[in-house]
Chains A and B, each alone.
Chain A
Amino acid sequence: MTLTATTPTRPAGTAKPGRRRGIASYWRFYLALSPFYLIFLVFGLYPVASTILLAFQKWDGLGPRKLVGLQNFGFLIEDSTFWLSLWNTVVLFAMSTVPTLVIAMTLAVMLHSAVRFKGVYRIAYFIPNITSLVAAAIFFAAIFSTNFGLINSGLRALGLPTEDWLRQPWGIKIAISTMIVWQWAGYNTIIYLAGLQAIPTEQYEAAKVDGAGPFRTFFQITLPQLRPVVLFTVIMSTIGGLQTFTEPQVMVGNAGGTGQSGMTVVMYFYNQAFFNNDYGYAGAIALSIFLLVLLFTAINWRLLGGRGRR
């Protein structure tokens, strides 16, 4: 910090950076960067620190806070609803992420080779992502509703038995994950498309010369080249998927629907904090979500070989 002009200039090629100037002399750059860090400090770091602190306290939202040590985590371990919500979240994550990414990849490859109306398709696929979540959830609840829903009307027209979607544990999960797929497939398509366009055409030409078919080209050139992009989408989907909240909340209500099968961890945490006024316990749940995201990200990293790819 205090190293200013007195620091001797090192010769180039040594381990440390060649020249060192004091932070003070870079003040313009730091000033230019500061808005992000200030906002992050207030709206990012402070809440994080405060949530961690809260996890060790008991607080009803208004009265005095009381330090309770690890009590909240003790409750967490024996809380069957917490484990159920964790299970629901992971199941929903698997049920939505896999189809989302497969559909997105398919669409991206198709879009990449399409010639006409490319821009129109891109916008069309992206629109679900910017649609209001609540509006979309209400819409999907209507599609899946029992008596007047679109899906059941279709099944009825085909002479098939109808299903009470939003009242059956699995029906709830199918409805929620369908909505997540609908919303995120287009977003990931655009990202894959960008990745596809970055692959040099020479590689494809070389493959063609070598006589590779479309499948072989896809699996030997496209997919390996897209690996960092896939890793990015998987990790973003993990972070998003483990925080699923609005879709089930609007579709099946705060309690999570039949047998709480639509209750995700974030919903449970929201209920504990803002419904039951148990902020400390909610803080503990929030921390557990964080650890879960960390764990899943690490798993993804290993599986998709993010290691060493710098």
Chain B
Amino acid sequence: MRGDGALERLGREGRIVVVGASLAGLRAAEALRDEGFAGSLTVIGDEPHEPYDRPPLSKQVLLGRASAGRTALPRLRAVDATWRLGVAASGLDMAAGLVRLADGDEVPYDRLLIATGVRARPWPQEAEAELDGVFVLRTSDDSAALARRLDAGPERVLVIGAGFTGSEIASACRERGLPVTVAERGAAPLVGALGGVVGAVAADMQREGGVDLRCGVMVTALEGDASGRVRAARLSDGSTVETDVVVVSLGATRNTEWLAGSGLGAGPRGIACDAGCRAFDIRGIVTDDIYAAGDVARCPHPLFGYQFLALEHWGNAVAQARIAAHNMLSESAERVPHMEVPSFWSAQFGVNIKSVGVPSMATEILITQGSLESRRFVGVYGYQGRVIGAVSFDHGRWLPFYQELIETTAPFPPPFATVDRRPGGQRPVDADFPDPSVPTHGPTVTLSGYSPADRRTTFTPAH
């Protein structure tokens, strides 16, 4: 295999197809050209838009500071590629090496990168989801539609689910002076991602920001009026919320359906890959020509016990795109693993939240700097005696230090003094994550490796 010139040929005249024309797709296309790939490059995206950035959709766009059509991703370099926008990939034939498109076309590949991301989980009752005034927020079109409705000055907005996106939406609405109710099944906002200790701070922020926050309840039904407009929501505690705008923010579903039956190891938890972003097939054998990157991928991470991590993090999409692009053009000895420490940011209620590592894997938390009461702090997450994650509220400049602790598997609790260590931060406490078997709304990290609930296959040796 080595030295037979196959790689050189690929680099010169090969065909690479990227499915998913958003953050990971664009950055991978750029990286491929950066790495000297001179063959034909096709990028397929089901949205009609040029690659755009999503984080502003729940922040600046809803505040009216940027328009949804104006969050195009900056191009890091010119990319010579065939862009097939507005058409979905509908199937994959691994044996023939081609991608089928919804318009009937087929695109052959020598290397394939899958970067189809996730989509918003819709309101489960279809008829209710169809009501006028019920929104989700994932795409630029979603954001434009919601922003327009907010401009019209609704009587009240109901946000279902207080994960990061739901909380940011609530924050934007409050900043616009709109009455907001947030309904969250968990005990507090952000509880799935950051645990109950930090969730309590988020809850305070929302209440102080004027949000009518209802935790520990579920929305059981949406009601419409005669003309099909939403007018109220019923809650599991028996109460009713009158509302004319509902934003369903219940987390995301991986875009893998189009791969069903292809033989690739893709399912509702994403596409299983090795640490170099090479996808596995359903037999657990790694493919050498199919890669995955971004929100749709799940990869084992050496720092986190080789748990398969699926991360809905901007920085992760960028990093994996680069790694996939590099590896698909490299000899095995030159391939690089994806080992970045996960990191994430959010802005809500005037507070800048950042996290590194995987807080949701932790059992304990220690506030090492600042205080929960002031809403300016760093919290360090511990798991089995080591530092596994950290979160900061308006304290982001310290995070590189904590990232280093995670990277060096430093002991938890950290034994040293720090500037701004307050009395409350002397002892670790239970981080108070909800039972993992209870789904919370919109976690941004999914530990998608082994799960006891997952024993659906029976092992039958072939002899």
Q: Do A and B bind each other?
A: no
Chain A interfacial positions (CB closer than 8 Å to B)? none
